Amino acid sequence: MTILYQIPGDISAGPLGSGELLRRLGLLRGWAAAGTTVEIADTPGGPFSIESAAEEAMCVAPTLDALARRTSQPDAVIVGCFGDPGLAALRETLDCPVIGPFEASMHLGAQLGNRVGVVTVVDGVIPVLDRLARAMGETLNYAGAVAVNVNVLDLRAHSATLADTIIDAGRALVRERRADVLVLGCMSMAFLGMAEAIGDRCGVPILNPARVALKTAEAMAALGVRQSRRTYPRPAKPLRLGVKEHV
Amino acid sequence: MTILYQIPGDISAGPLGSGELLRRLGLLRGWAAAGTTVEIADTPGGPFSIESAAEEAMCVAPTLDALARRTSQPDAVIVGCFGDPGLAALRETLDCPVIGPFEASMHLGAQLGNRVGVVTVVDGVIPVLDRLARAMGETLNYAGAVAVNVNVLDLRAHSATLADTIIDAGRALVRERRADVLVLGCMSMAFLGMAEAIGDRCGVPILNPARVALKTAEAMAALGVRQSRRTYPRPAKPLRLGVKEHV
Amino acid sequence: MTILYQIPGDISAGPLGSGELLRRLGLLRGWAAAGTTVEIADTPGGPFSIESAAEEAMCVAPTLDALARRTSQPDAVIVGCFGDPGLAALRETLDCPVIGPFEASMHLGAQLGNRVGVVTVVDGVIPVLDRLARAMGETLNYAGAVAVNVNVLDLRAHSATLADTIIDAGRALVRERRADVLVLGCMSMAFLGMAEAIGDRCGVPILNPARVALKTAEAMAALGVRQSRRTYPRPAKPLRLGVKEHV
Amino acid sequence: MTILYQIPGDISAGPLGSGELLRRLGLLRGWAAAGTTVEIADTPGGPFSIESAAEEAMCVAPTLDALARRTSQPDAVIVGCFGDPGLAALRETLDCPVIGPFEASMHLGAQLGNRVGVVTVVDGVIPVLDRLARAMGETLNYAGAVAVNVNVLDLRAHSATLADTIIDAGRALVRERRADVLVLGCMSMAFLGMAEAIGDRCGVPILNPARVALKTAEAMAALGVRQSRRTYPRPAKPLRLGVKEHV
Amino acid sequence: MTILYQIPGDISAGPLGSGELLRRLGLLRGWAAAGTTVEIADTPGGPFSIESAAEEAMCVAPTLDALARRTSQPDAVIVGCFGDPGLAALRETLDCPVIGPFEASMHLGAQLGNRVGVVTVVDGVIPVLDRLARAMGETLNYAGAVAVNVNVLDLRAHSATLADTIIDAGRALVRERRADVLVLGCMSMAFLGMAEAIGDRCGVPILNPARVALKTAEAMAALGVRQSRRTYPRPAKPLRLGVKEHV
Amino acid sequence: MTILYQIPGDISAGPLGSGELLRRLGLLRGWAAAGTTVEIADTPGGPFSIESAAEEAMCVAPTLDALARRTSQPDAVIVGCFGDPGLAALRETLDCPVIGPFEASMHLGAQLGNRVGVVTVVDGVIPVLDRLARAMGETLNYAGAVAVNVNVLDLRAHSATLADTIIDAGRALVRERRADVLVLGCMSMAFLGMAEAIGDRCGVPILNPARVALKTAEAMAALGVRQSRRTYPRPAKPLRLGVKEHV
């Protein structure tokens, strides 16, 4: 089975560069089950990083465009951003299951404890996640999010202290918001190995959303299921992909 | 005060053409209060019509781009599509209030009756509205949506029978889903004068979302309020607007 | 259009006297749109101020009575008390839209941020507002209320420090209850200009419920909509208004 | 222990007359436990019957007035109307527990089955009950209400067929709204012995709200508990009871 | 009427011994109404105390077994453990009403204030109660639980300080979780007279769940109601009671 | 990795016999990923089939007992009954993740569509599932359950017509309860290959809960996560397993 990890941002064109793509692919392959082929792609024209509702919205059209240009179709697609941008749009347009890391982590985390909290990058992402949790119907299982207030592109520069900062935030979620399970709320945190570094130092399980999304993708592909066409019908007319609006 | 009605689709480039823009502007001006200047714009590169989650997502980047190119800023912006695409993104990036017709209609309708139902164009839009109602926190006040199953671009061709079709759908919402108030769930329906044509033939108030959005925009501009920066903070870095991804 | 601001208390007979009515009318007229005529009335036999569930309930019969005695009907009626006393009763008996300041502020505030908090006068009002927010179906959008614990009739005597007290309460709502938007939870606070005095000193928008109610009334009257008769049917038999029970 | 059954309407002055009071008292005494003294009173100046939000609101002031005139205080008070009018107001002003028949029936019914439905008199009462169920926090346990559409004062004239009409409505609630338990949603129905006449003919338990309220009152009085002063604080200033507004 | 208080644990075989059964019976008889006969039984093979989900589950089979061996049937059965173990199972298999102390206390407490909090024994019980409150549909009325972290079998040894410890926990619930009413969340606390010892020292009513369950049982028996067979149908085949699995 | 599929019923002692165990094991092994070892066990002393709340409760003690007797511990345990009996109890007592088929199917299904409906065996199971869905916090995502009203032990005898019966029930869920995704609500249905036989004949995805549970177990084991000890703490004292109550 082939799983495509589609990053909706334009990592290759940004400060991290295409080497970061290969680094992440290596990690994903290490996490994959026997028999799973992982591919990775980023999205030309997408944001360099995604940490606002505006960037979440802006990355969808180029992602749909990038996916439409592929010649081979994977067995499942993971949206490589924790805010699950474009999840419904991709489900409408693709014939394979599409996995959102936040959605997948909430649903797996809710099987580990009553309330799932999120440690994310910046305060600005929190209201986006709060409304997503509502839209998912997960208000009772969602303990809320707290931010470490380090921008995505600065995470590496803070890597020496990042785990401790996340632990402080996670413990606050446990103590003040009664979280029973934690999720790292940013894929860049996930690929820096933070969940593994933290282990049980918050006293509760801490989920790596990249790995949860990968396992969910493998599960869906193995089950041979995909999204309901009642919730995610195919668009009735062709999408205007790749339109150059300002010539 | 100046209210901008920003259509996130590319009406000028589509079958309706730019004459439709002027026609809608005329209606909006007729509905506006004394002292309100209404402007209208559509979105180059946007979809010809918006009737899927994919099209809702794809219109946001060009809308942000179109708004960024304006030289004068209005006192309020209305997102001219019933699915409120890009509402959070626009609120983050603009300094004036931004109004979504669905959100505004739900909140006004909930002041007229216990349960608000929506008559929309096609079945595919219903799950999008259902999840928006959840995200708004309006599950108790939302009676659900039913579709007349006429595509947006075909509405005019069905105009002779459209009112009766909507009335049947609306009555079904009242009878089976216990709706107390109805909203037309498509701006093209709204600009065809359907709410006014139907009047009280469904036995409950029926809201024209274009007019509700306009009155809400006037109210917000008059109050001098705008979105909370806690929910809609300004993005921390410049957006990659107008990027040509495929050169 | 004519908007009636009906105070359900008996201000003229109380310590503030009828001068206060005229003062409030002046403010309302200053806030009104061009073309709006505002009238004001208070309610003989109503409470001097309304700051308990008992007073909320007691004011309704005299309000219905006062409204029944009017010879001309307005285009919209605002219930001039933040607890929205008698809102359903008035909607049943009147043929024009009836606006409740709390309800209108919650619904407008929810379009400005995810969670709306209320700064009100006394602790005793909080459980009343809490249950109203439930009845409105707004539990997700409602961040709760805190009180400054100054009685309504003492607000003026505290006017020198009132803004600072409200700011402290508002900031606590933001910090501890995660409010993104604030509403002044008392019409006397509203008419003391507190929202305007505070501005953005709480870091989030703060709504003046009198002005929000007025703009909502103008919007409804302009739209030509009124309450659904399914939710608010006309009472089947005449009300026993003005009965003297203890002669 | 003494339980006061306080009818918020003016039955003595209405078509049923004071004989109806004595008849109901007799039934209540028959239902009471050994050691319980039941008293009954109606409310001068209240409505003849209560079947709208307006009448619910109008009865509260005269009820507070009637209760304030009593010289001896009971151990518990039952509000003798299914819509629980003035429940919060009475709880604030009295030092004994106050029981609402709808509230008590919902809470007892929810211990008998997952979803509780209500068969009530007229359609106009349904939205009032719907919002009360929300305010109680009982939206999951509440299956909704249906009406037999017989006015309260006409119930006796329909007594020959009333049971069958209620059974039809109750079965519809079971079949279409998945009610597991039924409650008679009108005290006049309750005192006509309808629950007892129907027995298990709807296939689910059917509760007589007068008897449930009485048993709840006995339970609360025996427990020595009364309302929390945090939810129902005593009003800070004297109520303006018995004011003659139009002399 | 006969009420059976069935303890699902094996108190007689545990450290408290059968004398504790008699002591509790004495208290229950003191709390019972005139005309109520209380019987008590514990459950051979059940846990010595119940303070985990595992012990809640393990006690049900022996409880069903113990009840099946009885020769006379009571008019109501109280499950003598605050976590309401086996409530649905007993309702299915018995023909009389079955009362759970947590469920009964939540439903009575919600008639005394907006939010009901629980002071329980150990942290491990809290997630069990949290999920029960969800299953009851009481998430809005439930303020959460806090534990004094004394094991059930050690409560007596801490009796000198227990009341003060509970008061501290209760005040924290009021202050931090906005509880308006408290319930003792353990039957052993209830039978140590803690609610009575504490009285109004937390500033809100505090309910003894044993007494609430008893009064609810008396009410249901007096009303002649029992569980709906739609929610709690009789099992279609005989239960395998008393099977010796490892001979 | 080793996954234990623990059937909480006593299949070997019942009419299906131990051959059924081996048959199911064969299917599970066919569904398992490369590298997964599946083991199967049933529960001596458990019910022959589980189709009531009573049987759900009665199977837990023998299941805990059976698991305690194992000498080797698996990497994950699946509770082999759709009602997830004893899920919390097993999570408390085991150190590996424990998967409930209903819970896992709801959480996976909610990633495929907005509303998940269940086709189950008998009406008596529906209220149990309804309350589980509440306890999971999944009321918005749960479309309800319908039953084919064939007892578990009779399913095989109906195998010729079973698929058609399930399809009728499933279509009713889609049409009347707006289900977007279906789950077979009984493990015996699952092991009769019903989901695979039905395919897309209901127009929406239909999940086999045995396969979903297996994939979820593989995912959790691969992730190295297990239940939070805050939600599922280890019981503080040894469980009284294998007690012979009636010697």
Residue in A56, A137, A235 nearest the CB of B55: A235
D159 C-beta neighbours (distance < 10 Å), count = 14
Residue E140 has its nearest CB partner, among C127, C134, C144, at C134
Nearest chain A residue to B149 by CA: give it: A236
Task: Provide the Cα torsion F165, F168, F170, F171; round to 10°.
Answer: 170
For residue A142, report the phi and psi dihedrals to the nearest 5 degrees.
-100, 120
Q: Are F107 and A103 inside 8 Å of each other by CB?
A: no
Res E246: pLDDT: 43
CA D36/CA E223 separation, integer angstroms: 15
Q: CA angle, C152 as apex, C146 and C158 as ends, to 5°?
A: 85
Tens digits of residue pLDDT in F84-119 = 999 999 999 999 999 999 999 999 999 999 999 999
| Low-confidence residues of chain D: pLDDT under 50 | 245-247
Test the E interface: residue of D99, D103, D112, D138 with most E CBs within 10 Å: D112
Please answer whether residues D65 and D5 qualify as being in contact, where contact means their C-beta atoms are separated by less than 8 angstroms: no
Check CB contact under 8 Å for A58 and B239: yes
Assess whether pLDDT exceeds 60 at residue B246. no
Name beta bridge partners: C119: C146, C184
pLDDT of residue E160: 85
Q: Are E113 and D212 in contact (CB < 8 Å)?
A: no
Q: Which 3 state secondary structure label does DSSP give F91? A: helix
Q: pTM for this one? A: 0.97
Position B241 scores a pLDDT of: 86
Residue F153 burial (C-beta neighbours within 10 Å; 0-12, 13-18, 19+): middle
Pair of tokens at residue B30:
């007729």
What pLDDT is attached to residue B113? 98
Against chain A, the chains showing at least 3 CB pairs within 8 Å are B, C, E, F
Residue E106's pLDDT is 98
Q: Above pLDDT 90, what percent of chain F?
A: 92
Chain mean pLDDT for chain F: 95
Q: Residue F237: its chain E contacts at CB < 8 A?
A: 48-49, 151
Whole-number pLDDT of residue C232? 98
Give residue C244's pLDDT band: very low, low, confident or very high (50, 70, 90). Answer: low
Span B172-178, average pLDDT: 98
ipTM value for the complex: 0.96
- What is the token pair recorded at A39? 């591919």
pLDDT at residue C114 is higher than 60: yes
Residues E121 and E126: their CA atoms lie apart, in Å, by 9
In angstroms, the separation between the Cα of residue F200 and the nearest Cα of chain B is 19
Could you give the count of Cα atoms lying within 13 Å of A241 in the half-sphere of its Cβ? 18
Residue B3 structure tokens = 């209210």
Strand partners, D99: D78
Res C152 pLDDT > 90? no
CB within 8 Å: A207 and F223: yes
Closest B-chain CA to C87: B111
D108-135 residue pLDDT tens: 999 999 999 999 999 999 999 999 999 9
pLDDT at F246: 43
The C-alpha of F102 sits at a distance from chain A's nearest C-alpha, in angstroms, of 11
Within 8 A of C139 by CB-CB distance, chain E residues are: 140
- On whether the CB atoms of residues C120 and C194 are closer than 8 A, the answer is no
Average pLDDT of A127-140? 98
Q: What is the reported pLDDT for D243?
A: 66
Which residue is listed with tokens 């009334």?
Answer: C217
Q: Which one has a higher pLDDT value, A72 or C89?
A: C89
pLDDT-derived band at B243 (thresholds 50, 70, 90) equals low
Nearest beta carbon to residue A92 from set B52, B64, B92: B52
- Residue B5's closest CA among B210, B189, B153? B210
Instruction: State percent of chain A over pLDDT 70.
Output: 98
Residue of F nearest to E56 (CA): F89
State the nearest Cα–Cα gap between A130 and chain C, in angstroms. 8
Neighbours of chain C (3+ CB pairs under 8 A): A, B, D, E
Does the pLDDT value for residue A245 go beyond 50? Answer: no
- The pLDDT score that the predictor gives to residue D246 is 43
Residue A180 with chain E: CB contacts under 8 Å: 127
Does position C7 have pLDDT exceeding 80, yes or no? Answer: yes
Give the gap in angstroms from C-alpha F152 to the nearest C-alpha of chain E: 11
Q: Where are the beta strands (DSSP E) in chain F?
A: 2-6, 37-41, 76-79, 98-99, 116-120, 142-147, 181-185, 206-207
Q: Which helix (H) or strand (E) holds C183?
A: strand C181-185
CB A242 within 8 A of CB A62: no
- The 10s digit of each residue's pLDDT in E102-136 is 999 999 999 999 999 999 999 999 999 999 999 99
Give the chain C residue whose CA is nearest to the CA of B208.
C223
Contact F131 D114 (CB under 8 A): yes
| Alpha-carbon distance A225 to nearest alpha carbon in chain E (angstroms) | 30
In angstroms, the Cα distances linking A200 to A169, F164, F225 are 14, 49, 10
Exposure of F161 by Cβ count < 10 A (0-12 exposed, 13-18 middle, 19+ buried)? exposed
Query: Which of F113, F140, F178 has its CB closest to that of B134?
Result: F140
3-state DSSP assignment of residue F96: coil
Mean pLDDT, range B161-173, rounded to an integer: 96
Report the half-sphere exposure of E146 (CA within 13 A, side-chain side): 20
Residue the block writes with tokens 């009021």: E174
For residue E234, list chain D residues with Cβ-Cβ distance below 8 A: none
Contacts of D231 in chain E (CB under 8 A): 112-115, 180-181
At B99-110, the pLDDT tens digits run 999 999 999 999
Please give the pLDDT value at position A243: 65
Show the 3-state SS of A80-138.
CCCCCCCHHHHHHHCCCCEECHHHHHHHHHCCCCCCEEEEECCHHHHHHHHHHHHHCCC
Test the D interface: residue of F130, F136, F173 with most D CBs within 10 Å: F130
Per the DSSP assignment, residues forming a β-bridge with E145 are: E118
Nearest residue on chain E to A180, judged by CA atoms? E127
Q: Identify the pLDDT of residue E244.
A: 54
Which among D56, D124, D134 has CB closest to C236? D124
Average pLDDT over residues C111-115: 98
Candidates C125, C130, C138, C176, partner chain E, best to mutate (most E CBs within 10 A)? C130
SS3 D181: strand
Q: What token pair was written down for C174?
A: 């933001």
Burial pattern F193-215, b for ≥16 Cβ within 10 A else e, equals ebbeebeeebbbbbbbbbbbbbb
Tens of pLDDT, residues B118-143 = 999 999 999 999 999 999 999 999 99
| Closest-CA distance of chain C to residue B32, Å | 9
Question: Cβ of B242 and A246 within 8 Å?
Answer: yes
Residue F244 has pLDDT above 60, yes or no: no
Residue A142 identity: Y
Q: State the Cα–Cα distance between residues F104 and F99, nearest whole angstrom.
A: 7
F245 pLDDT more than 50: no
Across all residues in chain A, what is the average pLDDT? 95
Query: What's the pLDDT at D242?
Result: 72
pLDDT given at position C246 = 43
- Tell me how many residue pairs between chain B and chain C have CB atoms under 8 A apart: 139
Of A54, A65, A131, the CB nearest to B235: A54
Classify the C-alpha dihedral F23-F25-F28-F32 as positive or negative.
negative
